[in-house]
Amino acid sequence: MIHKFDAIVVGAGGAGLRCALELTEQNYNVAVVSKLYPVRSHTGAAQGGIGAALGSEEEDHPEWHMFDTVKGSDYLGDQDAIEILANEAVEAVMELEHFGLPFNRTKEGKIAQRPFGGHTRAFGEAPVKRACYAADRTGHMILHTLFEQCVKNKVRFFNEFYVLDLILKDDVCFGVIAYELATGELHVFQSKVVFLGTGGYGRVFSITSNAHALTGDGMAIAFRRGLPLEDMEFVQFHPTGLRKLGILVSEAARGEGGILRNREDLDNIGTGKDGFMAAVAPTVKDLAPRDMVSRAIYNEIKAGRGIMGTGDTGSDYIYLDLVHLGAKVINEKLPDISHFARKYLAVEPIKEPIPVQPTAHYAMGGLPTDNDGRVLKDAAANPVEGLYAAGEVACVSVHGANRLGTNSLVDIVVFGRRAARDMSRYLKDAEFEEIDADPEAFVAGEIDRLKNGSGNEKVADLRKEMQSVMMSKSGVYRTEENLEEARKTVLELRRRYQQVSVKDSSLYFNTELVEAIELGHLLDVAWTIAESALQRTESRGAHSRVDYPDRDDKQWLKHTFIRKLGDDKVEFDYKPVVITKFQPKPRVY
Ligand SMILES: Cc1cc2nc3c(=O)[nH]c(=O)nc-3n(C[C@H](O)[C@H](O)[C@H](O)COP(=O)(O)OP(=O)(O)OC[C@H]3O[C@@H](n4cnc5c(N)ncnc54)[C@H](O)[C@@H]3O)c2cc1C
């Protein structure tokens, strides 16, 4: 079936919905194509807050926000983009409020704010209250608010449609191909412009805070079509996932005063006394950026001070102590995460500490874009005409080597809106183009191979092997030897993937087929992570090489661009970091 819209927005998370909403303001004919029902998108799982220097609780300035983000990124973030993020965050949050988002309030009725990791006053002096929040359901409120606005503005939704390919002709994008879950039918969405807001890829790893649907589809689809991906080596591990499950315990828990404790510190539970982070980051302590806290936890475990002593990451953990906060703060400001602790670990956070361990959380890398969301086709910053991206699938790059908490929710609304504005400009002169007779042939061939193959490989087996090798060899700490092993294993798994066959032959709701397709995407993404991490012989932000422990600004103050050359070959190129106001310095907190 063929559909025709001025603009196709792929993904109904915060980035996609913010983009679609803006486009309807301009009276364009817009369709949102999403593999999930919109309000099931991962944005809805975001807990802690959205950062903006509103200064409603204490003095704050966008320039402080900019500095913290630059420093948090370990100086790899592009400072022109970060300045836009920090400046436009204020208006973007007020706009969400006007759309009806029920933020928590101060006594005077202003939007309430709380501290978060890496956010400071006066260029690093002390933590500052910058995270605007709606209890620990901030993302849920953002997603529902934006969805309501889109429905009001009559955005057309195609839900449970899986986009599997881009229609590209001479580096110009004219639409997408999607698989309809309910019928098994392939649809051609022809358009003048396409926006990708497909989110991250946390499911590459065995322990992750990410929803099942986060399989890196947007990145893999573009990579297969020969477009580059940027900074894929930078994967954020959030320090506090529920033990073994990876379900997130928001940084808001430490923002409200939670403290990490090792086995030598058990007597201090409930006292509010400093824990081991005080020695690692004397100024901000437990509110250091996530890369530092995750490494500190691994170091404690390695030194035998994990709660269970030394061991592998699956069996070792440390405690997050909220007991001293009291029942009122825990129940009113952190209701969801305390519910998770009770439900999944049978732990009562009012009385006992929560067992936590680092969990794969956020993709700093992705589709390279300029500050208006235009996807770039090379490191020289030439855009692909008619293709835009924002949010976790994209790399603009505001997060550099390490994202600060609360900055992704800002990213999706600020850059989702900016992309839409540039798309409107582009649409003024854009036309529908004749497309090939059979644009879905590539996808149809792939589905046919999976459904009619005779190989014996199983999706679940390959996925498990990939997740386990990526977690243990390409995780918080990395070495050349480990990364080489991850790379080889992933390449071997990609070969074995050719022998996957789907047993379910039905057309309706064939989730086995969808999982097989998603595994193909995950394997491509895992491959780019391992390859890019092998190349970068330094430690910066979330990329921590035991064999190259120092940051090397001389050689590596640049963005990695990886591009597919063949079934097991990639090529690299590099793009300089944009530095405007803040020269790189050692990161001390
Ligand atoms: C548990 C958790 C808590 C978090 N807390 C915070 C926080 O407090 N503050 C903060 O700033 N950030 C937080 N983050 C990060 C932040 O929520 C995400 O980075 C952000 O919401 C991503 O938004 P997005 O619009 O880019 O993608 P998503 O919200 O992930 O949406 C992706 C969309 O793309 C669609 N899609 C994907 N693939 C396809 C395909 N092939 N075809 C069609 N549609 C497709 C999906 O259906 C979905 O609608 C958190 C993340 C997690 C996992």
- pLDDT tens-place string over residues 257-281: 999 999 999 999 999 999 999 999 9
From 293, 324, 357, the end of a domain falls on 357
Ligand 1 mean position, distance from CA 198 (Å): 7
| Residue ID of nearest Cα to ligand 1 atom 33 | 11
Q: Are residues 458 and 349 in the same domain?
A: no
Which of 22, 32, 42 most suits a substitution to test ligand 1, by most atoms within 8 Å of the C-beta? Answer: 42
The verdict on residue 540 lying in a domain is yes
For ligand 1, what atom is nearest to the CA of residue 38? 49
Residue 120 has pLDDT above 70, yes or no: yes
For ligand 1, what atom is nearest to the CA of residue 392? 26
Q: pLDDT band for 58, please (50, 70, 90 cuts).
A: very high
Q: Is 232 in the pocket of ligand 1 (CB under 6 A)?
A: no
Q: By three-state DSSP, how is residue 246 classified?
A: coil
The verdict on residue 38 lying in a domain is no
From 309, 330, 357, the end of a domain falls on 357
Expressed in percent and rounded to 5, the helix, strand and coil fractions of the chain are 40, 25, 40
Mean per-residue pLDDT over the chain, rounded: 96
Q: Is 69 in the pocket of ligand 1 (CB under 6 A)?
A: no
The verdict on residue 329 lying in a domain is yes
Residue type, 84: I
Residue 330 structure tokens: 């825990």
Q: Is 117 in the pocket of ligand 1 (CB under 6 A)?
A: no
Residue 312 exposed, middle or buried by CB count within 10 Å (0-12, 13-18, 19+): exposed
Best CA proximity match to 542, nearest among 401, 364, 406: 401
> Among 18, 290, 536, 587, which one carries the catalytic annotation?
290
Write down the pLDDT at residue 308: 83
pLDDT digits (tens, 9 = 90+) for 276-311: 999 999 999 999 999 999 999 999 988 889 998 665
Ligand 1 mean position, distance from CA 11 (Å): 9
Residue 230 structure tokens: 């940027």
Q: What is the mean pLDDT of residues 35-59?
A: 97
Q: How many domains does the chain have?
A: 2
Query: Quick check: pTM over 0.75?
Result: yes
| Residue ID of nearest Cα to ligand 1 atom 8 | 48
Min mean pLDDT across 94-108, 232-246, 426-440 is at: 426-440
| Rounded CA separation 76/579 (Å) | 9
Which of 36, 155, 245, 408 most suits a substitution to test ligand 1, by most atoms within 8 Å of the C-beta? Answer: 408
Residue 314 has pLDDT above 60, yes or no: no
Write down the pLDDT at residue 123: 96
pLDDT digits (tens, 9 = 90+) for 204-257: 999 999 999 999 999 999 999 999 999 999 999 999 999 999 999 999 999 999
Q: What is the mean pLDDT of residues 50-67?
A: 98
| Rounded CA separation 133/141 (Å) | 9
Q: What is the mean pLDDT of residues 337-349?
A: 95
| Rounded CA separation 306/296 (Å) | 11
Q: What is the mean pLDDT of residues 116-145?
A: 95
The CB-side HSE value for 253 (13 A sphere, CA atoms) comes to: 31
From 328, 357, 386, the end of a domain falls on 357
Contact 119, 68 (CB under 8 A): yes
Residue 313 has pLDDT above 60, yes or no: no
Q: pLDDT band for 437, please (50, 70, 90 cuts).
A: confident
Q: Is 34 in the pocket of ligand 1 (CB under 6 A)?
A: yes
Domain containing residue 472: 441-558
For ligand 1, what atom is nearest to the CA of residue 14? 25
| Residue ID of nearest Cα to ligand 1 atom 5 | 46
For ligand 1, what atom is nearest to the CA of residue 411? 11
The verdict on residue 476 lying in a domain is yes
Q: Is 406 in the pocket of ligand 1 (CB under 6 A)?
A: yes
The verdict on residue 515 lying in a domain is yes
Q: Is 221 in the pocket of ligand 1 (CB under 6 A)?
A: no
pLDDT digits (tens, 9 = 90+) for 554-565: 999 999 999 999
Write down the pLDDT at residue 376: 98
The verdict on residue 543 lying in a domain is yes
pLDDT digits (tens, 9 = 90+) for 491-501: 999 999 999 99
In SS3 terms, 106-120 reads as CCCCCECEEEEEEEE
Q: What does the DSSP 8-state code read for residue 398? A: S
Ligand 1 mean position, distance from CA 274 (Å): 33
Contact 138, 150 (CB under 8 A): no
Q: Are residues 243 and 353 in the same domain?
A: yes
Q: Is 215 in the pocket of ligand 1 (CB under 6 A)?
A: no
The verdict on residue 99 lying in a domain is no
Q: pLDDT band for 312, please (50, 70, 90 cuts).
A: low
Residue 20 has pLDDT above 60, yes or no: yes
Best CA proximity match to 516, nearest among 527, 532, 501: 501
- CATH label of the domain that carries residue 326: 3.90.700.10
| Rounded CA separation 345/354 (Å) | 8
| Residue ID of nearest Cα to ligand 1 atom 52 | 46
Q: Are residues 245 and 353 in the same domain?
A: yes
Tokens 């009562």 belong to which residue? Answer: 348
Across 374-460, the runs of DSSP E, i.e. the strands, are 374-376, 383-389, 394-395
Q: What percent of the chain has pLDDT over 70?
A: 99
Write down the pLDDT at residue 139: 97
Q: Is 541 in the pocket of ligand 1 (CB under 6 A)?
A: no
Write down the pLDDT at residue 25: 87
Write down the pLDDT at residue 27: 84
Residue 24 has pLDDT above 90, yes or no: yes
Write down the pLDDT at residue 435: 86
Q: What contacts 295, CB < 8 A, 6 or more positions away?
A: 476, 477, 544
| Rounded CA separation 38/364 (Å) | 23
Residue 415 has pLDDT above 60, yes or no: yes
Q: By three-state DSSP, how is residue 270 classified?
A: coil
Q: What is the mean pLDDT of residues 387-401?
A: 98
| Rounded CA separation 501/499 (Å) | 6
Residue 290: active-site member = yes
Q: Are residues 350 and 452 in the same domain?
A: no
The verdict on residue 463 lying in a domain is yes
